[in-house]
Amino acid sequence: MKRQREVAQRLKDGKQTIEASELALLALRPRTRQDYMRDIAQLCTWCGVEGVDAIEEQPFFEIAITLADLGYSASRLEKFRCALAHYQCDQLPPQDQFTQTKGFRKRFSGALSLCKAAVCRGGITEEKLAILVNDAPNTMKLGLLLGYKALLRHSELVNLRVCDVAISGKDAVVTVIGPKGCKEKDGKAAQVFVTRCPGVGRGIKPWIANREGSEILCTNWSRDAANEYIAQVAKKQNWDTKRIWSFHSLRHGHAMDMA
């Protein structure tokens, strides 16, 4: 418990030096209603939140953002949100909703959207994203945009097809249609504002249009290629390169160093 408090305090103080092994100490594994109450009360204490009515205020989201960018899994964040939601309405969900994680994205899409929105707001800024994609090849440019703003993993990016993505409007609104976990409950595609940087969206729109029937990124998008490119840009801009790339998802590591 003492170690948990130390880790939580470091998070609250804004020190991003938490190791992955330390995050395990903060895992929520509720089994009963009492477990919910205890863990959520502890979470609210860590976040500086007084009362359940205030759990969606900024302090909680700051912790959620920090945990996400340090590698806290999306499914764990969903459980955070699920636990808090059920605590509010005084209900305990069926046990299988915690033991069977396959359906979490579908059952709690609203909770996931809140977490993703929080990560977007707290991650890489639009200005730095514009610098990152400015001189990048189109494949890398689109991969960075979808990775940072649509929060797609590498495995989702490489399987993305032209028919799965639509870009429209001067603000480059990207609609992700195909990948599992990106759809809302009613089956409509999730719309994500990829960037408001002038010219970024317009540059890749015609390029995508000429790739009909094929994967968008193909083999040109690799972890090594992205890692090397981002490291070069970060070094040129004097950004911290210690946690540039997680080899899993753009949402982890790099965003907090650049924000």
pLDDT digits (tens, 9 = 90+) for 165-199: 666 655 555 555 544 444 443 444 444 444 444 45
Sorted by where each starts, the structural domains of the chain and their CATH numbers stand as 2-122 (no CATH), 126-258 (1.10.443)
Cβ–Cβ < 8 Å for 86, 92: yes
What distance in Å separates the CA atoms of residue 62 and residue 23, rounded to the nearest whole number? 16
What distance in Å separates the CA atoms of residue 140 and residue 144, rounded to the nearest whole number? 6
Backbone angles phi, psi at 32, to 5 degrees: -135, 175
Token digits of residue 259: 């924000």
Burial of 80 (0-12, 13-18, 19+ CB in 10 A): buried
pLDDT digits (tens, 9 = 90+) for 6-38: 655 655 555 444 343 343 344 433 344 454 445
pTM: 0.46
